[in-house]
């Protein structure tokens, strides 16, 4: 009999469910919440309500696509944190109820660890110990990965996350929310060297992106004052230049951190890891330095439940069995 884990992800604005059978992904579904588009960012209360509407149909669909009955589930992996409290509560409450009613254990998953473990969905081995970098809408963090369950935070952004700056910059350029995919598309037609933006100098393992975010805003305001329509006329060069600065800042900090920790494996994760420029820059650096570079498949970079499922499977293998999970908006490693 195969071991079936039902996995739930509701930490932010993507409602996602996956089914793992013996550590192999059997199905995964995501409902991206469109309700936030008009606001240019996630509205926590609306996110929680949308999770509530989506969760039951998503669970039914994921089980159906995996050819599983509800009674065949052996454990439920659920994102415990970090994330938005209202959103986390929907997934965690559903998991607590399902677990109690079915008499099956829960596997509490750390969202950031899961982003790095997404690499196990396309690679058999993580070649640990490794340095991990998570670049997402809410986090930019460097992590020492000792095992699939043991990780240590080395440093993080002191202010904005990379994804946050991408989304805000794209909003200034009149783009959609979230802005990552649109920025990447727009930047393809632009000159990345046209507008040099500052790269913050920070202590090892730490990042700062609020300076570049403000520099971008002030640049647009200054130019618009002198010549209305500047932003619209130059948006491809603007997108290419800000993208170039953000991705190169990440790569410089990763290179510095790799030298400090002395590991030769680099694990990447998070929504911004979908970015083609970041992937190409990291690949070039890895080839030059002889690092082993693991990046998740694009679909498993942005929030998804497959990564929660694989993280849950490793918790199960480590002997974790919980009867109740408490959501944590902030969660230590």
- Which positions touch ligand KG4 (CB under 6 A)? 12, 136-138, 163, 166-167, 178-181, 184, 270-272, 274-275, 302-303
> Are 119 and 269 a contacting pair, CB within 8 Å?
yes
In the complex, the smallest distance separating the C-beta of residue 120 from ligand KG4, rounded to whole angstroms, is 17
- Partner touching 119 among Zn ion, ligand KG4, none, CB below 5 to 8 Å by kind: none
- Classify residue 274 as exposed, middle or buried by CB count within 10 Å of its CB (0-12, 13-18, 19+): buried
| 307-326 CB burial, b ≥16 within 10 A, e <16 | bbbbbbbbbbeeebebeebe
In the complex, the smallest distance separating the C-beta of residue 301 from ligand KG4, rounded to whole angstroms, is 7
* Phi, psi (degrees; rounded to nearest 5) at 47: -60, -45
In the region spanning residues 264 to 283, those forming contacts with Zn ion, defined by CB under 5 A, are none
In the complex, the smallest distance separating the C-beta of residue 1 from ligand KG4, rounded to whole angstroms, is 34
In the complex, the smallest distance separating the C-beta of residue 182 from ligand KG4, rounded to whole angstroms, is 8
Q: Which of 303, 306, 308, 312 binds Zn ion (CB under 5 A)?
A: 303
In the complex, the smallest distance separating the C-beta of residue 30 from ligand KG4, rounded to whole angstroms, is 10
| 108-133 CB burial, b ≥16 within 10 A, e <16 | bbbbbbbbbbbbbbeeeebbbbbbbb
Instruction: Compare residues 144 and 164 and give the one whose CB is closer to ligand KG4.
Output: 164
Tokens of 124: 């058999």
Which of these segments, 19-27, 76-84, 210-218, 303-311, binds Zn ion (CB under 5 A)? 303-311
**Residues that contact Zn ion, how many (by CB under 5 A):** 2
Which of these segments, 29-37, 168-176, 209-217, 296-304, binds Zn ion (CB under 5 A)? 296-304
Determine if 136 is a binding residue for Zn ion (CB under 5 A). yes
Among candidate residues 157, 190, 161, the one with its CA nearest the CA of residue 178: 161
Tokens 């609306």 locate to 46
Determine if 87 is a binding residue for Zn ion (CB under 5 A). no
Taking the C-alpha atoms of residue 138 and residue 44, their distance in angstroms, rounded to an integer, is: 13
């Amino acid at each position: 009999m195969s071991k079936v884990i039902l996995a739930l992800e509701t930490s932010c604005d993507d409602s996602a469910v996956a089914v793992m059978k013996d550590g192999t992904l059997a199905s995964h579904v995501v409902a991206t919440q469109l309700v936030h588009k008009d606001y240019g960012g996630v509205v926590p209360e609306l996110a929680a309500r949308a999770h509530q509407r989506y969760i039951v149909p998503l669970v039914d669909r994921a089980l159906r696509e995996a050819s599983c009955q509800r009674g065949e589930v052996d454990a439920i992996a659920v994102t415990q944190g970090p994330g938005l409290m209202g959103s986390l509560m929907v997934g965690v409450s559903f998991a607590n109820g399902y677990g109690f009613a079915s008499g099956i254990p829960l596997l509490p998953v750390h969202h950031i660890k899961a982003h790095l473990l997404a690499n196990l969905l396309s690679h058999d081995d993580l070649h640990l110990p490794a340095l991990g970098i998570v670049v997402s809408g809410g986090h930019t963090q460097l992590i020492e990965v000792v095992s699939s369950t043991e990780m240590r935070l080395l440093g993080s952004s002191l202010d904005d996350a990379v994804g946050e700056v991408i989304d805000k910059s794209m909003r200034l350029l009149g783009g959609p929310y979230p802005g990552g995919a649109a920025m990447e598309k727009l930047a393809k037609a632009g000159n990345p060297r046209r507008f040099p933006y500052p790269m913050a100098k920070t202590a090892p393992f730490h990042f700062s992106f609020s300076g570049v975010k403000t520099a971008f805003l002030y640049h647009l305001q200054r130019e618009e004052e002198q010549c209305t329509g500047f932003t619209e006329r130059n948006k491809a060069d603007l997108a290419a230049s800000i993208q170039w600065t953000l991705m190169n800042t990440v790569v410089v900090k990763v290179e510095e951190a790799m030298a400090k920790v002395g590991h030769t494996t680099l694990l990447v994760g998070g929504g911004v890891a979908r970015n083609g420029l970041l992937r190409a820059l990291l690949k070039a650096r890895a080839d030059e330095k002889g690092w082993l570079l693991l990046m998740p498949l694009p679909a498993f970079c942005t929030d998804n439940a497959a990564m929660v499922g694989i993280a849950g499977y490793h918790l199960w293998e480590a002997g974790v069995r919980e009867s109740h999970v408490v959501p944590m908006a902030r969660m230590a490693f």
